[in-house]
Amino acid sequence: MIVGIDDTDSRRGMCTTYLCAYLVDALRNRNYNHGEVSVSTPWLVRLNPSIPYKTRGNGAVAFEITTTTARTRLEDVKELVKSTVSKFSELDDANTNPGVVFIEDEPRSNLRVSQLKSYYERAVRTVLTQKDALAIIAESGFDYFGLKNKRGIIGALAAAAFVILQRYYRYDFTYELMAYRAKERWGTPRRIDEHSVWEADAATYPLTWDTVDVANRRIVFAPHSPCPVLFGIRGDSVDAIYKAYKIIDSEPVERIMLFITNQGTDFHLITHGTGQKLLDYHSYILDGVVESNPCTLVGGHVLFKLSLPTLSTRVDCIAYEPTKGFRNIIRKLRHGDEVRVFGSFKRGTLNLEKIELKSLNKEELRNPRCEQCGRSMESAGRGQGYRCKHCNTKREAKEVVTINRAIEEGLYEVPPVARRHISKPLIRMCATKGGGGGEGESVIIHPSR
């Protein structure tokens, strides 16, 4: 049986991953007469990061239970899940609406599997409703449970679907090891020895990533909310993650739990097709030409206009202030640069997560130089060409000169301090080609850490 859970936490407390870790431990430790119940490594599934009504990271969880005996045991498991969700959820918060989905008979027909695939992809890339989830639950005969308005079933079904889909489609995935705080410490400042965190990062990067932000001298693997999470170590190697964990010196940990996750995969990004309309709360990969030189807005945000030839339209691309040094790359763009942008779209604006500088415009039109004295010529008046006022020589038009650019072509990204859970750090792209768009050419990568 696969169990998917979502929307148990609020900004004030709890964390759906903690509830999951608690349940997984409880199920593993329960005496089911000779251990005929086994529980998988749980999954942490990040859903559409741009959705307006999310809690912190918009993450749902799932785990799989295998039994060798009768179905009645699964009824026990379901009861434990329901009572734990009821007990732990932040039900006082108006925006917390827990949902649980139980998949006992895994769908195997092509139709049902592709239906789940479409559902999962839409959960990460678009905006789904409870109706969408309930339709699949009813057609496939799944069991579910919810509290209050039960909106959590949307994410719970997506997380459970991800577990099944991994068997068929082998979606990209990474790991995160979560460490949780003792309950009496929830809401108090976290005690983590910073030096040990830098040491852990140095010993395991790039097999672990987004533990620290070197350029901004910040530790980024621990939240600042009153939730039960002490920290989370993300990476591609389980061994490296545990190695980092052993180096870190912190307050006592209540429990740890390793999750398999779609974090760090860029699965939210939609490669845009010709003629499609850009939709709010969707994230895209778009090819275009820089139309205006970048400008810095009040608050330090940097904006440029990008024209999208295949859509015959343009968007405003913004690197917000929290993206820190990434803005220095954006400031160096020039009209005429060909770029590929990656980010979420809302009300005509694309919030930049990555950018690929494909072809820099190195041509500049300048007033011609006088062939006799070498001075810059001046306009002789509208439509009259250019003239040297010292030698009286004339030229018809401006000349094209090649200029040096202070940046290199290639892929750039926001720093770890501003990175979304689901965004793929460039360091993970080192082995791949095509810059996410898949054209097959090799791209220079400028990872930010």
Which residues make up the interface to Zn ion (CB under 5 A)? 370, 372-373, 388, 390-391
Return the number of the residue (129 or 384) whose C-beta is nearest Zn ion.
384
Least distance between Zn ion and beta carbon 371 (Å):
8
Least distance between Zn ion and beta carbon 431 (Å):
57
Least distance between Zn ion and beta carbon 392 (Å):
8
* Cβ within 8 Å of residue 100, ≥6 positions away: 3, 4, 5, 81, 82, 85, 144, 145, 146, 152, 153, 156
Return the number of the residue (271 or 372) whose C-beta is nearest Zn ion.
372
Return the number of the residue (36 or 378) whose C-beta is nearest Zn ion.
378
Least distance between Zn ion and beta carbon 367 (Å):
12
Rounded Cα distance, 3 and 100, in Å: 7
Return the number of the residue (359 or 372) whose C-beta is nearest Zn ion.
372
Is residue 248 within 8 Å of residue 193, measured between CB atoms? Answer: yes
Least distance between Zn ion and beta carbon 364 (Å):
21
Least distance between Zn ion and beta carbon 370 (Å):
3
Rounded Cα distance, 433 and 410, in Å: 11
Helix (H/G/I), strand (E/B), else coil: 357: strand
Least distance between Zn ion and beta carbon 381 (Å):
18
**Which contiguous run of DSSP H or E holds residue 231?**
strand 229-235
Rounded Cα distance, 101 and 117, in Å: 16
* Cβ within 8 Å of residue 98, ≥6 positions away: 5, 6, 7, 8, 85, 86, 89, 91, 146, 147, 148, 150, 152
Helix (H/G/I), strand (E/B), else coil: 107: coil
Least distance between Zn ion and beta carbon 396 (Å):
16
- Euclidean distance between the first and final Cα of the chain, in Å? 40
Rounded Cα distance, 226 and 282, in Å: 29
Return the number of the residue (202 or 373) whose C-beta is nearest Zn ion.
373
Q: What is the DSSP string of 137-182?
A: HHHHT-EEEESTT-TTHHHHHHHHHHHHHHHHH----EEEEEEEE-
Return the number of the residue (331 or 395) whose C-beta is nearest Zn ion.
395
| Greatest Cα-to-Cα distance within the chain, rounded to the nearest angstrom | 103
Burial of residue 171, with CB atoms counted within 10 A of its CB: 0-12 exposed, 13-18 middle, 19 or more buried: middle
For residue 55, the Cα-to-chain-centroid distance in whole angstroms is 15
Rounded Cα distance, 148 and 96, in Å: 8
The strand pairing partners of 145, in sequence order, are: 100
Rounded Cα distance, 153 and 443, in Å: 40
Least distance between Zn ion and beta carbon 302 (Å):
41
